[in-house]
Structure 1
Amino acid sequence: MRQTWGVIAVLLTAVLLAGCTANSSGSVSTDSSGGRVSDGVVPAEGTPDNSVTGTTGDVNTSNRDVITTGSMSITAADPVAASESARTITEQAGGRVDSRSENPVTDIQSASATLTLRIPSDELDHTIAELKKLGRVNFVSLTAQDVTQQSQDLDARITALTTSVDRLLALMASATTTADLISIESALSSRQGELESLQSQRDFLSDQIDYSTVQLELVSEGTVAAGGPDNFWTGIIAGWTALVTALGGLLIGLGVALPWLVVLAIFGAIVLLIVRLFARRRKAA
């Protein structure tokens, strides 16, 4: 009997040990490299990296549409020659000159030049630095306008209209009646006109974003006025010059007014003739 209970005890102990071993092996798994990993825990080496890299500046400026405009004033020894140099600098940066006005030096004015420069936005800082070398900088003013929302709105409207046009074209191809065809053509014409207008606006906006606009003014050093007459003869010459200048201005004024005077004289003669005719009729009556 004691031997029977001993055998039973041994069997129960073996069963319990087997169950514990099974539970222990079921709580352990291996990774691809053969290492042991506890259930429900991801190894440190396998943890996915979801962190965002980059600086705050990169996050704030990425995918932003900005229009930059500005103005510059530079005093140059030769504004006309500096104007040509400014054109060269702009074109070498990949830009263009939209307008250019040059005023050479004369007896009554100093030399100057004015240019409207379109500079690639990513070359703006470098180009301005090169333009500053043309002379003494009087001022530089730049303004940036964020038009990201406007760009996104135009893109969304263009996409929607493009889809609408494609659907109308498909409907036109399957139209079975003349009335349906006319109705679809009318709607299609309206959509295409609006789409072309939006695309034109988007192209213009893209040009403003891609190319910054800078108004450049080039001026020369201020000239010193000539001294006054210092004797009798130079006084006579100065007086004669002033008289000729005044008479020239008077003649120009008369030339401008002469056509008006002729028209007024003709009109006055007609009015006078009509008045005399009425006067004669009254006397005859």
Structure 2
Amino acid sequence: MKTMSTATSRSRPALLAAVLLAAGLALAGCSAGGGSNSASPGGSQSGTIGKAPAVGDAASGGTSGSGSAATADRSVVVTGTMTITTGAPLTESAKAVAIVEGAGGRIDGRTENAASNGDRGSATLVLRIPARVLNQTLDALRKLGRVDQLATNSADVTAQTQDLGARIDALKASTARLLELEAKATTTTDLVAIENALSERQGELESLEAQQRGLNDQISMSTITLTLRSDAAAPPVKPADFWAGLGTGWAAFVSFWTTALVVLGVLIPWLAFAGLALLAVFGIRRVRRRRVAARKAATPPNE
């Protein structure tokens, strides 16, 4: 019995030291991952996040050589805005949804305003488009109307993805080591210490994995805010050259005469009524004059 007690008392400090050593190594690994911007390219890391091409390379199939390899190793988050003027914003909004969903994307936000005060309505959509087909989808959206504005921004998050991958790998290694120590624990004190450290590592690991999933979604699905508006809400477009000026002048000429014909159509009934009224007045005056003349002719002159 003394021998077993002595062995147990000797193993307890060693086990506690192992727990503390594993925890210290985990913390050191996380700190090293946070301070490093690169990960081992040869190893298969469970924390690897999917890569997305930049806007100009999306779904282009890539090119051979070092340029395509460098692009494939980058993690890029693409965001942007797009403004389209169209004659039927609400109708085109439904078409935009169909285009994005047909490309494998989704709609994260949708706001529509009904027509009022000469405005044909408007719509604002938050589009999530797969990065690999971003350019093709934008080209399809261009056909909905006149593109007044398109701006995209690419943010390289390669260092952030590698940092998360390294920290996740370190925490997984620490967790695996703590599980091994938990299986070998012989006292309640050792078991409680290991479980506390294990719970802390697992909580941090779940938090980092959630961040990784969110970043992965931003990389794989580009975010474009699309605004559809009518001509009434769009600012006037200034002609940029002679032919644009000629087109603007012709449009103004046609618009003037179209408006003039509309006004004439509105005035014709009133003009006709006014003409008939004048004819009636002139007719009555003429009859009166004839009667006066007849009376004067029938009355003998005074001698």
Post-superposition offset of 1:174: 1.0
Which structure has more relative contact order (CA 8 Å, sep 6+)? It is 2
Q: Indicate the residue corresponding to 1:133 in structure 2.
A: 143
Post-superposition offset of 1:107: 3.3
Q: Indicate the residue corresponding to 1:115 in structure 2.
A: 125
Post-superposition offset of 1:64: 0.9
Residue type of the alignment partner of 1:171: L
2:88 to 75, 78, 83: 78
2:157 to 147, 160, 166: 147
Post-superposition offset of 1:99: 0.5
Post-superposition offset of 1:104: 1.1
Post-superposition offset of 1:193: 0.4
Q: Indicate the residue corresponding to 2:181 in structure 1.
A: 171
Q: Alpha-carbon deviations, 1:205-257, whole Å to 9, x = none?
A: 0000000000000000117xxxxxxxxxxxxxxxxxxxxxxxxxxxxxxxxxx
Aligned length: 172
CA distance in 1, matches of 2:64, 2:113: 50
1:64 to 63, 74, 80: 74
Post-superposition offset of 1:60: 2.7
Task: Give 1:39-50 correspondences, 5 Å limit.
Answer: none
Task: Give 1:220-231 correspondences, 5 Å limit.
Answer: 220-222=230-232
Residue type of the alignment partner of 2:168: I
Q: Indicate the residue corresponding to 1:92 in structure 2.
A: 102
Post-superposition offset of 1:124: 0.2
Q: Give TM-score, length-normalised by structure 2.
A: 0.55
What's the C-alpha RMSD, in Å, of the aligned pairs? 1.7
Q: Which runs of 5+ in 1 are unaligned?
A: 1-52, 224-285
Q: Alpha-carbon deviations, 1:69-89, whole Å to 9, x = none?
A: 000000011111111000000
CA distance in 1, matches of 2:227, 2:146: 12
Post-superposition offset of 1:158: 0.5
CA distance in 2, matches of 1:77, 1:110: 7
2:214 to 201, 204, 210: 204
CA distance in 1, matches of 2:96, 2:164: 35
CA distance in 2, matches of 1:135, 1:121: 23
Percent identity over the alignment is: 50
Larger radius of gyration: 1
Q: Alpha-carbon deviations, 1:18-56, whole Å to 9, x = none?
A: xxxxxxxxxxxxxxxxxxxxxxxxxxxxxxxxxxx9334
Q: Indicate the residue corresponding to 2:291 in structure 1.
A: none
CA distance in 2, matches of 1:108, 1:174: 78
Post-superposition offset of 1:112: 0.3
User: Could you say what secondary structure the match of 1:134 adopts?
Assistant: coil
User: Could you say what secondary structure the match of 1:101 adopts?
Assistant: strand
Residue type of the alignment partner of 2:178: L
CA distance in 2, matches of 1:156, 1:187: 20
1:194 to 181, 195, 204: 204
1:217 to 221, 224, 227: 227
Post-superposition offset of 1:108: 7.4
Residue type of the alignment partner of 1:135: G
Residue type of the alignment partner of 1:198: L
Q: Give TM-score, length-normalised by structure 1.
A: 0.58
- Conserved in 1, the CA contact under 8 Å of 2:121 and 2:229? yes
Q: Which runs of 5+ in 2 are unaligned?
A: 1-62, 234-303
Residue type of the alignment partner of 1:213: T
CA distance in 2, matches of 1:108, 1:207: 40
Q: Indicate the residue corresponding to 1:22 in structure 2.
A: none
Question: Residues 109 and 77 of structure 1: is their aligned pair in 2 closer, same or farther, counting only changes over 3 Å?
Answer: closer
Residue type of the alignment partner of 2:185: A
